[in-house]
Chains A and B, each alone.
Chain A
Amino acid sequence: EPEVTQTPSHQVTQMGQEVILRCVPISNHLYFYWYRQILGQKVEFLVSFYNNEISEKSEIFDDQFSVERPDGSNFTLKIRSTKLEDSAMYFCASLQGDGNQPQHFGDGTRLSIL
């Protein structure tokens, strides 16, 4: 079964540094999402992306965050200047958009800010 893949599985970064989290959605999917989950808390929506533009973003997704689909396969989340509170699991999800299909999630990148 096709999967959403995310790299790296674990990223350790110094506070203030830029970090890029990478995702390869399922190949025929058209809608892309980033969520995050702080340890012990709920999964929270960050941003949705369709047709090369952001469809919706949450309050968490401030000016430090950006998303990009640089080619036909990758979907990236960039955090420009990381803060301690950015430490979390970051999940990418994709959706086919044809009929009543579910969002498929990757297994996440654990981001640790020191």
Chain B
Amino acid sequence: LAKTTQPISMDSYEGQEVNITCSHNNIATNDYITWYQQFPSQGPRFIIQGYKTKVTNEVASLFIPADRKSSTLSLPRVSLSDTAVYYCLVGLGVSGGYNKLIFGAGTRLAVHP
């Protein structure tokens, strides 16, 4: 599975847009990019997944440039409840072809009033 690099922490304020960038220089042709969110004392929660260009759902957008060596998770107008750890995972489909997910340290996002 491709190694990912993302910032350890980020700070933002309520109402702002937050962009978290993940680098995955060794992404393979069949790899998808997946983001999970984790609140304290809860399990990781799937946010969004994409392969190329842009994907948008009710929670976030995912921007993937043509070379796919990085991706950016965009959270519009964050609120205090978006304070969490965000994980970028790269693998064969969202589940790595039904195999294990490998989590890095993630990005700890703190949203301030």
Give me the interface of A with B, judged by CB distance under 8 Å: 4, 31, 33, 35, 42-45, 48, 50, 55-56, 58, 89, 91, 93, 95, 97, 100-108, 110
Contacts and interface: CB of A to CB of B under 8 A. Distances in A.
A102 B49 contact: yes
Nearest to A31: B98
A61 to B, nearest CB: 11
Given A43-B103, A56-B100, A107-B43, 19 more contacts: A4-B43, A35-B101, A42-B105, A43-B38, A43-B87, A44-B103, A45-B101, A48-B100, A55-B98, A55-B99, A56-B99, A95-B98, A100-B32, A100-B49, A105-B43, A105-B44, A107-B42, A108-B41, A108-B43
A43 B41 contact: no
Contacts of A50: 98
Contacts of A95: 95, 98
Interface of B is mostly: loop
A31 B43 CA distance: 17
Contacts of A33: 100-101
Contacts of A43: 38, 44, 87, 101, 103
A103 B42 CA distance: 15
B100 A101 contact: no
Nearest to A99: B93
